[in-house]
Amino acid sequence: MTNNSCRKSLISVNNELVRKILEDKFTLATTSFSNVYLGVWEGKNVVVKFFHEKHKPLAQKELSLIAQLEHENIIHLIGAGPSLPLNCSFLILEYANCHSLQNVLYDFSGVHYNLVNTLNWILQISRASDYLHRLCSPSVIHADIKPSNILGFDRLRLVKLGDFGSSTTTLSDEPSVFGTLCYMAPELWTVRSGEKLPYSEKSDVYSLTVTFWEFLAREPPNKILKRRDVADKFWSSITQRLPTLAGCPELLSIIIESGWAVNPMIRPTMFQLGRCLTSIIEQIFPVDSIIQGVDIPDDCLNFLKKL
- What span, in angstroms and rounded, lies between the C-alpha atoms of 204 and 188? 11
**Gyration radius from the chain CA atoms:** 19
pTM of the predicted model as reported, rounded to 2 decimal places? 0.89
The gap from C-alpha 102 to its chain's centroid, in whole angstroms, comes to: 10
CB 258 within 8 A of CB 267: yes
- At residue 303, the pLDDT reads 54
Which of the 8 DSSP states describes residue 36? E
pLDDT tens for 234-250 read: 545 555 566 677 667 88
Which element (helix H / strand E) includes 223? helix 221-224
In order of start, what are the domains of the chain with their CATH numbers? Answer: 11-95 (3.30.200.20), 101-284 (1.10.510.10)
Cα 30 off chain centre by? 17
* Parallel, antiparallel or unpaired: strands 11-12 and 77-83: parallel
Name the residue among 60, 62, 66 with its Cα closest to residue 3.
66
Residues forming the active site? 144
User: What are the residue ranges in the chain where pLDDT is below 70?
Assistant: 1-9, 173-179, 189-198, 224-243, 246-247, 287-288, 298-307
